[in-house]
A and B are shown apart, each in its own frame.
Chain A
Amino acid sequence: MWAFGRVSGFMSLGLFTLSVLLGVLTRSGRPLLVLPRFSVSILHRNIALLAAVFLGLHVGSLLLDSFAKLRPVDVVVPFLGSYRPFWQGLGTVALDLVAAVILTALLRQRIGHRMFKAVHWLTYAAWPVAMAHAIGNGTDTAGKWFLLFAAASGVAVAGALLWRLSSTFLETAKARGGNLR
């Protein structure tokens, strides 16, 4: 259970990173190489859902593990854990945020665009919190491959964020800026 809990945590974080990158790309309105826009959008959704499945396995397996000493309340309420409560609590915070983001995304047609969007912004908070949880709470953080994974993810997400904030981010930015040809 312990090993499984660790691996599923990494899988979940890796998939969430991918989903964040695809989400930023979706927002830009651009296709990805041969993938049309709607495929990028569907891929973004499906990878996020897959990440959530691994997140469920990560928490579920550690809940059953005797070493992690996780209680059911630790799944929902942060900072009450027995092992490094602060870093474990960050994981709980990330879980709560992700649950809100996914629930509102699935109910997008019912709750409307404004509410969906407001909650979806929480992703930008959830990702660094999840990464901090992995670094501070993980027991594999000394390994070279983990550092490589964390650094690559960090660079990719930071790059996506900078791109998101740049003035040429939107596919239509040039045309709408009044520069048709």
Chain B
Amino acid sequence: MTATLHIDWTRCDGRGLCAELLSGVLVRDDWGYPVARGRQGPERTDVPVRPDDLEAAREAVSLCPRLALSLRDAASGDSQRRR
């Protein structure tokens, strides 16, 4: 199973760092918030991340100014926000 990047919308402030680091996965909407490219519904909150993007996703998790991101290993359901 692939990992997913969980976006906590109660924390997200749309600062745009994640969309820069994961430019192939996320774009910003008009208000700056991240939107998963080509994804619909719940996959916009738990965004599937390909193995190639995992390193960038980890960077995004650690650099998010609002601590709004967490990486989840879909297989174990494990949250890795605290690295």
Contact = CB atoms under 8 A, between A and B. Distances in A.
B28 to A, nearest CB: 9
A144 interface: no
A37 B81 contact: no
Interface string A96-133: 00000000000011101100000000000000000000
A26 B64 CA distance: 11
B62 A109 contact: yes
Contacts of A77: none
A42 B63 contact: yes
A36 B20 contact: yes
A148 interface: no
Contacts of A109: 62, 67, 81-83
A170 B81 CA distance: 26
Most B Cβ at <10 Å: residue of A109, A110, A112: A109
Interface stretch (B8-16, B35-43, B47-55): B8-16
Contacts of B65: 26-27, 41
B15 to A, nearest CB: 4
B83 A176 contact: no
Contacts of B16: 29, 37, 171
A2 interface: no
The number of chain A residues touching the other chain, given as a range, is 10 to 19
Contacts of B32: 29, 171-172, 175-176
Contacts of B67: 108-109, 112-113
A172 B17 contact: no
Contacts of A175: 30-32
B78 interface: no
A83 interface: no
Nearest to A180: B30
Interface of B: 11, 14-17, 20-21, 30-32, 59, 62-63, 65-67, 81-83
